[in-house]
Every structure is written in structure tokens, then in C-alpha cells.
Amino acid sequence: MGVEIRESPVSDDDVEEMKRFVHDYLEASVENEQAGGRMRWYPWHSAEYRYNHILNVVELAADIARTEGADLQVTRVAALFHDIAKLEAEQDEHAEAGARIAKEFLTTHGDYPESFVEQVVEAIREHSYQGDLTDLPLETRCLIEADVLDKVGANGVALLLLRMGYESRDHTDAAEMVERVVERGEDARERIESDAAESHLHRRLKRVRWFKEWLESEVAAIEPGADPEE
């Protein structure tokens, strides 16, 4: 009995079209807001950051999916659309809104199997789920783990360092801000389930801790009122 060979329902050209759509949708979400975009003064609520975050999650989720045996195409497409509504919907509504947008796109752009579309939509809808990940399909778990991991690494460090300005802090507080990324990583350890995600988390936390130690060794604390020339 031969092995059934199934072609992927998503081609490389399809993926590029999806990327363009997501990018343009995020840009339009900001441009269409009369107030200049929801919380746009935070860098992580800009179209540029959100799209970069999405691409990072796609890469991480795909790597986890390959290792854990999840459906790669379902995972990749769900990751591409998971935050498409982030800039126009409230936090507790963006997953459901993103699922609707993804379903409309997939049912009007190409001839994707209904089962494929439903798996993608369900993964997007559940990507903010806060319960036990073992209750979810493997593809959804891969997406959630990747979403968590992107906050524990270079992106997470850069964003919290940018946040120093919004909190009226100076560079001597940099190590303290980076410590928040370490704390996020420790919290993430409680969320993730797969060995692949745990491996990513271990490497990322190691780098963040190293960077924090480097900051602590070179950025001197300055006592209030002290003469920096002494």
C-alpha cells in the first residue's frame, strides 16, 4: 500500500500575498484612526513593530511545529494572521476579530480546503487562551508558545529599553528594565509545554541574563546629588 502524498494548500506565492495583506492591513489600521492610532505612543502598538512581531512569531511557530509534528501550514498561516486586528480592536477582542479577517481572506483568495481554513481560524481565535495548553490542538499550542517566546529576547529587551523614556527613566535603570524581560521568561516557563519551545526559551533567557550582567558591570549607579566628576 503506497503512502499518500498530499500537496500543501499554501504555496510560497500565497504566503507572500498573505504577508502583503497583513502588512497593509496594519498600516491602514493606524492611518484610519483619527487619534493617530490606538496607543501609538507605545512602540509596540505601531504597525512597524506589530508586523515585525508577527514575522518573528511565524518563524518561531514554524520551527516548533516542525519539531513537534504539528501541521506546518496551518501553524504558519495562523501565525501570520494572529495579530492582524491588534491595532484596531481591544486586547480581549483582537483574537476573535483576527479570526474573522483570516476566514474572509482565506475564503476569497484561493481554493483552500474548508478543514484547513477552520483549523487556521480556530488557532487564531484561541491564541490568547490562558488555560492549560494541553487542552488545545497542537497547532494552536505552537502559535501560543511562539507568541510568548518573542517577548523574551532581543525584541523584548529593545522594547523595554525604549519604554524607559515613557517612564521618565535614565540609562542607569537599563539593567532593571532588562530584568523585566527575565521575569517574563520565567513566567513563560509556566506556560509552554513543548520541548522545542523550552529549548528556545533556555537560549533566550541565557542571552538576556548575559546582557543584564553586562549592563550592570558598565552602567554605574549615580547617587542623587553626587558630583559625577568626583
Q: Which domains does the chain have, with CATH numbers?
A: 12-130 (1.10.3210.10), 154-218 (no CATH)
The string of pLDDT tens digits covering residues 181-225 is: 999 999 999 889 999 999 999 999 999 999 999 999 998 765 555
The mean per-residue pLDDT over the stretch 99-120 comes to: 96
Q: What percent of the chain has pLDDT over 70?
A: 87
- Mutual orientation of helices 154-166 and 195-218 as an angle, nearest 10°? 50
User: Under a CB-based contact definition with an 8 Å cutoff, are residues 182 and 210 in contact?
Assistant: no
- Mutual orientation of helices 47-68 and 12-31 as an angle, nearest 10°? 150
The string of pLDDT tens digits covering residues 71-97 is: 999 999 999 999 999 988 888 899 999
- Decide: helix, strand or coil at residue 9: coil
CA–CA separation, 45 vs 68, rounded Å?
Answer: 31
Supply the DSSP string of 73-95, one letter for each residue.
HHHHHHHHHTTTTTTTS-TTTHH
Return the ∠ at Cα 184 (arms to 175 and 200), rounded to 5°: 105
CA–CA separation, 30 vs 26, rounded Å?
Answer: 7
The mean per-residue pLDDT over the stretch 109-130 comes to: 95
Q: What is the pTM of this model?
A: 0.86
Q: How confident is the model at residue 46 (pLDDT cuts 50, 70, 90)?
A: confident
Q: How far is CA 134 from CA 50, 78, 130, 192, in A?
A: 27, 18, 11, 10
Cβ atoms within 10 Å, residue 36: 10
Q: Which residue has the higher pLDDT, 193 or 171?
A: 193
Q: What pLDDT, on a 0 to 100 scale, did the predictor assign at position 67?
A: 96
Amino acid at 51: Y
Q: What pLDDT, on a 0 to 100 scale, did the predictor assign at position 33?
A: 61
CA–CA separation, 172 vs 81, rounded Å?
Answer: 38
What residues contact 40, with CB distance under 8 A and at least 6 apart?
Answer: 30, 33, 46
What is the separation of C-alpha 222 from the centre of its chain, rounded to a whole number of angstroms? 36
User: Under a CB-based contact definition with an 8 Å cutoff, are residues 128 and 60 in contact?
Assistant: no
Q: What DSSP character marks residue 70?
A: -
